[in-house]
Structure 1
């Protein structure tokens, strides 16, 4: 076995030992409680988590032995540096665990790796199921916007076009990213919506760009954000929407939008860059 393989082997065993210490609801709960920045005595932890003193002592001792928790000079327990770093990553696994059934059919792996590494920021959200409900929630998000709307458009629909025109008419700034595979129904192309939007674009209220491809669709206003993932066939079927007003979720979606916006080209004629369906 070469040195590199030996080092990898050792790293895997060390990592397995750490994950083994985390494989307990009680120990995870203790880490979460201490990650709130509080210094707690053993009894305070037990009461907060509804654990017996014996359970709390046993699990706290294991976390101390693992180097994740320490007792300070006041006799209170706090997270160590390793404990804080570990606790910050737990939301990553919480998101996966909460949505494991969805992730069997939908994928986050087509977004840039820097955003995959931050999926823990998405943990505080609700999931909307079904095309009709998803569309209603998106319409509500856009209709409530008072300052701006940033959208990565996977699939447009007529009612959304009318809502966006209403928002633009009320001075709401909209930035929109289309892709080469964005679906726009023919009824929109044949309506007056493209012409009206072009007028707002000339006024500078509406900005549009085209990205070659995107790994997710996002809908962001100043107060909330929505995230839509493609299915395993790379199709945005509008069946699942993650929705939240949580600041971390909002920041993640905003950052992803800006990542694609900064690398996208200015949009010209919509009819030439989208797939039109009857």
Structure 2
């Protein structure tokens, strides 16, 4: 594994810090969404969850880099990201393990995560900027792996929360690849802290890693003659709500999903809007 010393050094460093922060925060979110299972988790299981988020973010970064990094530089760029993640992970773990920390083991762990990421997700062919069945299938597969690791296979709440965590980081990765440097270094944050960006105000805690993150999403999928409409909240936004606020928002969003789902079904199955079947979203 070689160290990437080209003109992308700052981007690689910032991406690595972002990935570790998002992975740590996402594990916390998953545990909060499955409190009973969280109590049974061993450290090895939590580490497995952490690596699952690292794997999917390697894939997302690889896909997004195609829009911002010259083709000739992409292989070296992704190798450099692997090195950067290894270096920052070592720094993050040193306080807990001290001098007993094995650098080689970390390199092998990150290298294994990258290899498995390719094996798991490169088979899905889609453009990251478009909605498609293949894209939804990849995120469903990822959410399923998270649910399996938590011991709640098939749990839709967990798979949806995992998908939201993964998709929410896409704007931040894209912004970094475009060369938008955060005003404060993400290294000041621990792996369990992640930037929170709300609306156009771009108010944030700890770091600024992007300009937009979806707080609420509504999705309608067509399968044969059936239309499924669901909605979800950004995990960090959910945490900021009180129980009463969450109950009120849930009631309101169920109504919104019903209205949008019915409208989408009407339009999607009409003769003049047949092409909407391919859109995959309301």
Q: TM-score, normalised by structure 1?
A: 0.26
Decide which structure has greater helix share.
Answer: 2
Decide which structure has greater strand share.
Answer: 1
Larger radius of gyration: 1
